Structure 1
């Protein structure tokens, strides 16, 4: 049998039982000692009251000075003794000769005990061993009318009587102690059962190791993890704090309840529904969020977060490049067809027709390139616009660069060529997806001023209201191939990420069509440093 319980519940109950038993035993001992002290105090008060009352009684004074004091006083003292329950009442002469005694054979014999203080007219109490054994006795003087001490009254209670009274109280004290201990045992038994259920019957060392491993895993895992209870985060690991840009200074080592819950996004605080692999744009990051509600606990859930920022950006750029490559392939196909036609015309001897066909297509292409190059000198953006124009022709969409467009190489205001492709390419793709099929058109305006870069993409689609546009920026909806056609998908989230990184703005309005406007200020006019 184990000398010390193994489980935390057993050790806690054993410790509590030891403390309770010690308290009960100590309380019982103190109660017994207190009963003994109270019995002695009560005995002293009682014998003093009896002795003083008899000494001050006029009948006692008269009897002491009578010819036969014993005949008068013995019946009186025995009656008082029987009434009060004290052991003895002895009335004596100043020379110690007894007038009364419990044992009548001792009347007339000298009193055994101290009387000097009483002879001096003072009442005193002492513990003394007399003919009845050890006793607590009080001796009071009997004074005549002139103040002389004409007799003494001694009243006492034997220690055996006091002990009998004290022992008679011990069963009650023991019963109370046993009841208290039994109640404590019952309560500790219920406490043990609850602790075993809560701790799974594990030992303290096992719980400590489990907690340390659990804490280490939670804060080391490269996936954000948040546990919410009643809409409040009770556990946020380090990766979740990094992804949600939470300030780590308000976090203690083992308590996440001090987190500023107002800074948490809605998908954390609202734990009512299940979320599966849903994209959200939060603080310039594209996050994949999963949320599993806790059964039978309202607004309580486990939320996991994964970072897809770089992957989403790469996928967006890859999508743009893929479409660009498809456009170039289609152009190459069309060019090959025209070249075969021209060769055929030459072989047929119709050289003039071949020259006319070749120069006409060349003039149209060159005119488009010259016009876009003149308006926008950024070669990456020109190439993107040419590719999107060819792609729009294939899809039956009229894509045009407005006459207001004007931008040179220096007007990108910090945007890299890849970021320019991400912003313009995604806006054009979204516009072509959303434009009205009965009248499909898209207009692009790119204006680069010394103070800002402004990109406006308009289409013939129905557009989005402010609430839907805000949700589209926060959530990375993927709407291609079905679903909510009003959402602009992951492309808008990527655009918003680039714009936010450079301190710009992204707005939507419905005027002559659905109009999306991106404004990027010059680096020297931004509030703070670019992120």
Structure 2
């Protein structure tokens, strides 16, 4: 495996940035050096051209060229000018290239090496060529007499070595900014790499790819709804199960409020549309700092329904057990009275017990043809009797058919009766719960009253409110959920003798 394969993204980015910055700085420095060299050569050309023209126009030079011994006059002069201007040679020559002056006196009288044709024609020659002092940048200009005729030539030059030395003297001006640029770029790349290493936890591309694939697979396959929010409370991720539970578009109000609260919750029941969800919310922290929250949701709608039915069955079972025990006691009493010869009194006692039970059954079954609802009320009656509460089914109750789903009717009536039974528990007698179910005028009216302490309409249907110390407060909230789903109404009022009366109206659609 190549060594670079295990490198983290931060290290790879750092090395790439260093290489790119180094290449850019090298290119920039090379360009700066070439520009500086061109500028130095142009400056040298301008310098030698100006000096040559100044010498050529000097009347002393013009007069000396016409004299018997030009070298005797011109050699000291040109050397003084050369030293004063920092050039490498100043040569005054005849039109046939014979030198009158030179930096090296032994070369006086010899032929000048270089191009002079343009100067003989009255122009200026500028070139870089190799002469007796080596390669140099030189210019050749004509010396004219009063009539304008070319009588001599002046060549001034600066060797390439001198130009390079002058260029090298400027190296710090280029090298120092270059070094500073490299240092700053390296420091910036290192800081960026360090930050990236913290954010990626030192993972390489292969590890991050695998992590993404694993996380994506988990998010799609997990059977819990997942909602992730950032530190500002904005939702950034909802997995497939979360979308199925919460629906598309905006989050339900209770879920939004829970996410916005950023508080940690554990197994908190919440309502989302027609679903009962159990929520768990935790903070997400990294390096000691809070970076968001994660909310998981489990669908307990079916489980809650089954639990409610199980509670009803359990309550009915307990009530039947108590009634069986009570019936056994009464049966023993009747048998004992028969054995004592008091048969007439035994018959009256047994008949009275049968009449009470049969009266309630006949009343419920006669008024409510919906079998599930009738069974529910009979079970609740036995459960109420066990608790010392009298459950009264209003004589005007009437439900001849099931215009609404039985499950919704059981949810409304069952939860209202359960809450009423809880409300009167522990109060002073008489403890009564009254139930009215009527199908009339295109709606089903369900009214449940009790003789308990009462409740306010503001708190009754708030999720989490309960009359039970250990309650979850979902009973009345589920009732309101059914009412909202059918477009009905619900209200709370005080009973005539105290307590509370809850009235639910459910429209019946044809």
Which residue, 269, 277, 281 being the options, matches 1:287?
A: 277
Instruction: Find the partner of 1:278 among 268, 272, 277.
Output: 268
What does the per-residue CA deviation read over 1:451-481, in whole Å, with 9 as the maximum and x for residues that have no partner?
Answer: 3223222223344445533432xx4x6764x
358 and 510 in structure 1: CA distance in 2 versus 1, 3 angstrom threshold: same
Match of 1:442 in 2: 433
Question: What is residue 423 of structure 1 aligned with on the other side?
Answer: 412
What are the within-5 Å matches in structure 2 for residues 290-309 of structure 1? 290-294=280-284, 297=289, 300-309=292-301
**Aligned with 2:486: secondary structure?**
coil
Q: How do 1:346-365 residues align onto structure 2 when only pairs under 5 Å count? A: 346-365=338-357
CA deviation after TM superposition for structure 1 residue 430, in Å: 0.8
1:307 deviation in Å?
A: 1.8
- Structure 2 CA distance, aligned partners of 1:506 and 1:396? 31
Q: Is 1:310 equivalent to 2:302 in the alignment?
A: yes
Distance in 2 of aligned mates of 1:260 and 1:282: 9
- Determine the structure 1 residue equivalent to 2:501: 515
**Structure 2 CA distance for aligned equivalents of residues 463 and 70 of structure 1:** 133
Measured in 2, the distance between the counterparts of 1:119 and 1:87 equals 23
Structure 1 pair 421/260, CA: closer, same or farther in 2 (3 Å)? closer
| 1:414 aligned onto 2:404 | yes
Task: Find the aligned partners of 2:133 and 2:444 in 1 and give their Cα distance.
Answer: 119
Segments of 5+ residues of structure 1 without an aligned counterpart are 248-258, 525-531
CA contact (8 A) 2:252 2:273 kept: no
SS in 1 for 2:303: helix
- Residues in 2 aligned to 1:371 and 1:3: alpha-carbon distance in whole angstroms: 87
Taking the TM superposition and a 5 Å limit, the aligned residue runs for 1:258-277 are 264-271=255-262, 273-277=263-267
CA distance, structure 2, for counterparts of residue 260 and residue 453 of structure 1: 31
Q: State the aligned residue count.
A: 501
> How does 1:186-335 map onto structure 2 within 5 Å?
186-189=187-190, 193-230=194-231, 231-247=233-249, 264-271=255-262, 273-294=263-284, 297=289, 300-335=292-327
> Which moved further from structure 2: 388-397 or 172-181?
172-181
Structure 1 residues 4, 363: closer, same or farther in 2, change over 3 A? closer
Deviation at 1:407, TM superposition (A): 1.9
CA RMSD in angstroms comes to 3.3
SS at match of 2:27: helix
CA distance in 2, matches of 1:462, 1:354: 41
User: Structure 2: which 5+ residue stretches go unaligned?
Assistant: none
Residues 255 and 272, structure 2, Cα contact 8 Å, conserved in 1 = no
Quote the Cα distance in structure 2 between the aligned partners of 1:346 and 1:511. Answer: 50
Q: Counterpart of 1:468?
A: 459
Check whether the contact 2:337–2:343 (CA below 8 A) recurs between aligned residues: yes
Alignment partners' CA distance in 1, 2:297 and 2:403: 33
Matched with 1:111 is 112
What secondary structure sits across from 1:234 in the alignment? strand
Deviation at 1:523, TM superposition (A): 3.8
